[in-house]
Chain A
């Protein structure tokens, strides 16, 4: 099995994530779609590490996971606080700032 398929899978995952950000309303789901995009990038990194025969890409994937974990902490905190104030996690309800 050529590694190219992994690259294509990653591209598909990335696209699904990006489209998910556009079409989902729940802030948590939107955020999970972003996480999906990050993991698609991880998959690409690991695949290229395999193709290039170097470990760099795999190590980078670990870095990305750590950063993504930190991002989750921040993100959930923000989403929680806005949910408590508004009783809604829909991103379409947060619409006071415009024009």
Chain B
């Protein structure tokens, strides 16, 4: 039975089931995803907006406080007092203690010379007159820088205020702790996947962000428009989406940015772990179910196919037998007529010989004519057997004693067997039931099988016949101790015209085919077992009641 069509069929069934199972599941998942995405997006945006607003207030406050500190110091002391570094140092210590956020302090005169400095760097006597911020503070009165390198070759930011004292301008300058600023920006309440930092107008980082960006490096956000309040934009690039919330600080010189990776499947699944469970279970269950159904359906298909094949085989066998029947009948007829002529002519010659008793050769002629007559007889038996094969029609069903029928059949052949010192042993059980079947046909089968057995064993052999009750019928076993049948022939011996017999007797090769046909038409069975060198055993089983009405192929053999 070919397996490929079934594999293809199984694939198809699986595909259909998968489609029917997975499509709704995926659709449900997609719908859930879309609905949740909108909700989560809104939530994310709101969160971002609130966070940015809150952070802006904190940072503004920090920067304003530092500026106020500076202005307070500038207003509270004379320039002369501030040039006293010991005092300046005390002030710095106090500021750091009270608020923090300031790293150093310095006083610069109107020529830009750093007159007094307290802090970790060596900046005293530096001249700032050509620095842009110095000019700015002298004109504007106060100044906050971006993060820059300056003389100390290290990113930092400064704040400066102008102080008028006795007609002269001074500048009080402080370095703001950018680490503290960065920490302030980053600290607290940042959602996973979010990034918070400050950029200047040029788009350079003013605060460090989680070790990913260094100060003063340029961010990849491009120019950001100045606006009031908080603005949240959605940016999509290369399959990923992010929300960017911005708000401007310090009157538009800095911008506080929060980047939040847009909502993804992972967030959905984090939000609803059950969804993942249902989905995975569905994914596993649908193919499993598909397989179960496919296998069951295929089993059904296979059974149907087998049944059909059996029916077909039976029908083909019947047709074959019918054709053989017709052929046998016409062949027998064509041969019977010339045989009859030969027989008649031989008869006339024999009759004539009777008148020639005086002739010396008469005896030899008689012997030779007898041989011709014997051969005619032999051929006649063959053709009559062939016709017997084609002649079985509408068997008479009657109560049959199988053992008696067998005994009668054996009596036909026993004399011939004994002549070859072949023993025929009968083992008949007691209480073998009568069965309703066709006596003539049963005897035909017995005769064929017993003749075969006698042929097989040869002189001195033994044929053993057992008769006994079997389940729902009667069983007959006809065994010989002949040479046995080769395994490769065993399957074919019931085929018409198959014969392994060789030798002087003529065999049509139809004997066993007829037996099988008869047994089938009587609703019985015939089987064979054989061992090379040990012998062969044919087993017949007859039902209690033959199936009437099945006349098989022989009905076609007429005309």
A and B pair up: no
Using a CB–CB distance below 8 Å, which chain A residues touch chain B? none
